[in-house]
Amino acid sequence: MNNTAAVNDKMSRYLKMAAGAAASGTPVVCWFEECLKDSVPLVGGKCSSLGELINAGVRVPPGFALTTEGYRRFMADAGIDREIQSMVTGIDAQDLDALEKVSMAIREMIEAQPFSTEIEDLVAENYRRLSVRSCMPAVPVAVRSSATAEDLAGASFAGQQDTYLWVRGADDVLHHMRRCISSLYTGRAIAYRANHGYYDEQMAISVGVQKMANSFTAGVMFTIHPTNGDRSVIVIDSNYGFGESVVSGEVTPDNFVVNKVTLEILERTISQKDIYYTVDQKTQKPRAIEVPLERQKVQSLLDDEITELAWMGKQIEKHYGQPMDIEWAVDKDLPFGGNIFILQARPETVWSQKKQQTVAKPGASAMDHILAGILAGKRLK
């Protein structure tokens, strides 16, 4: 065992002790790979699904989570529960201005609170190890909130919790963790809880810290046709840079329809892509920049990447047993074959919630089907 390793080992034992010191015995931080899909109460939906994916053998950028236990201890240490409670109580959920004002005040208050030294150490050490694993100093990460309550993860709150891209350094990671925590108190979130009778004490949030893919291309993928519900296809939207431009709808992405069974590309629509998100090398901050003219109408994913991506989508769907909504990225620093990463996967909600309708008349014989088919005639596109 070399010197560094020995130090690491010692350090890790110390940290385990510290983590275990919590009265509940629940960890404050944990690696994604230690999570599974039933880890939602501990690490929220996003992080548990990433853990599930990693354990299913899917290529996911590594990372760790500040657990809900970490969140609770942060809030308990800060001792601001009561104050927040008094600010929220009796608020008029219809009064948007008031909501926004209260939200700002609460968020500022939360973001000003320090983490305990213990939590800071745990987070910093995991971040350091993530950097070592990634073979780069102060590895750029995405810091995302990971909600626990199903309602919060549902459609009405999609996109409400924050995501911070290209965060570097332990201090910045801690800072953005606080911002994620404070996102529980956006105006809309406060109003939603007021309207639905949720108490703030019932809430918990986890924060995921994930190595950022230095994406050349990124986007989303549905393992069902989002417009006609065809389960035999995978539909991919892609643009250059980080996937944010696609997720937010800021550009019309390239669109590919891939046969799920054979992985052949059935349709490709190449759009004019004006902007993309990438990191500004000078400021080390992500920003939207204009796509160079000669690349605007060029297919943003290679055919081989499309096929590989669709194959990954198919495996993920198989693992979950239902159509999925997936975020992905193609890393520009890695060679083809190992450069495609899954950043997020969640069950598709629109078609999956529709009542399944049969095409065939139930109980009919083959002859009945043939007659019905002949009578209907054939209409082609």
Partner 1 sequence: MEFPSPHEVETIPGTEGWKRMYPYYYQFTTDDPKRKQYEEQAFWFYDGLHYPEPIYPFDTIWDEAWYLGLSQFNNRLFHVPPSRGIDHRILNGRVYISAVPVTEPEEIGSRVPNFMERAGYYYQNWDTLEAKWKVKMEGIIRELAELPLSRLPDLEDLSVVTEGVGESKGYHLLKAYDDLIDLGIKCWQYHFEFLNIAMAANVVFIEFVQKLFPSIPLQRITQMVAGIDVILYRADDELKNLAKKAIELGVEQAVTSSREWTQVEAALKASPKGQEWLAALEAARYPWFYISNGTGWSHKDRCWNDDLNIPLTGIVTYIEKIRLGEKIDRPTEEVRVERDRITAEYRDLIETDDDRKAFDELLGTARLVFPYMENHNFYVEHWFHSVFWGKMREVAAIMKEHGLINEIDDIFLLRRDEIKQALWDLVTGWATGVTPRGTTVWPPEIAWRKGVMEKFYEWSAPPSIGIAPEVITDPFAIVLWGVTNSSISNWSEVQGNEDTDSITELKGFAGSPGAVEGRARVCLSTSEISLLENGEILVSRTTAPSWAPAFTKINACITDVGGVMSHAAINCREYGMPAVVGTGHGTKIIKTGMMLRVDGTTGVVTIVR
> Does residue 273 contact residue 251 with C-beta atoms inside 8 Å?
yes
Judged by beta carbon, residue 249 or residue 362, the one nearer partner 1 is 362
**373 lies in the binding site for partner 1 (CB under 8 A):** yes
Return the range that interacts with partner 1 (CB under 8 A); candidates 36-44, 186-194, 211-219, 263-271: 263-271
Under the phi-then-psi rule, with left for phi > 0, alpha for psi from -120 to 50, and beta for the rest, what region is 241? Answer: left
* Closest distance of CB 261 from partner 1, Å: 4
The only residue of 6, 7, 155, 370 in contact with partner 1, by rule CB under 8 A: 370
- CA torsion through residues 163, 168, 174, 178, sign: negative
Taking CB under 8 A as the criterion, the residue among 155, 266, 289, 298 binding partner 1 is: 266
Distances (CA, A) of 372 to 358, 360, 361, 378: 14, 9, 9, 11
Task: Check binding of 363 to partner 1 (CB under 8 A).
Answer: yes
Nearest approach, Cβ of 172 to partner 1 (angstroms)? 44
Q: Which stretch binds partner 1 (CB under 8 A): 82-90, 254-262, 287-295, 341-349?
A: 254-262
Q: Which of 59, 129, 231, 332 binds partner 1 (CB under 8 A)?
A: 231
Residues 6+ apart with CB under 8 A from 274: 251, 290, 291, 296
- When the beta carbons of 267 and 280 are compared against partner 1, the nearer one is 267
With binding defined as CB under 8 A, does residue 261 bind partner 1? yes
The nearer residue to partner 1, 197 or 363, going by C-beta atoms, is 363
Size of the site for partner 1 (CB under 8 A): 40
Q: Which is nearer to partner 1, 140 or 323 (CB)?
A: 323
Torsion of CA 244, 221, 254, 228, to 10 degrees: -130
SS3 call for 98: helix
Q: Mark the segment that binds partner 1 (CB under 8 A) among 1-9, 14-22, 225-233, 337-345.
A: 225-233
Return all residues near 122 (Cβ < 8 A) that are at least 6 apart. Answer: 15, 18, 19, 28, 29, 70
Output the DSSP codes for 305-344: HHHHHHHHHHHHHHHHTS-EEEEEEEESSS-TTS-EEEEE
Q: Can you read off the two tokens belonging to residue 72?
A: 């609770």
Give the binding site for partner 1 (CB under 8 A). Answer: 225, 228, 230-233, 257, 259-262, 264-267, 356-367, 369-381
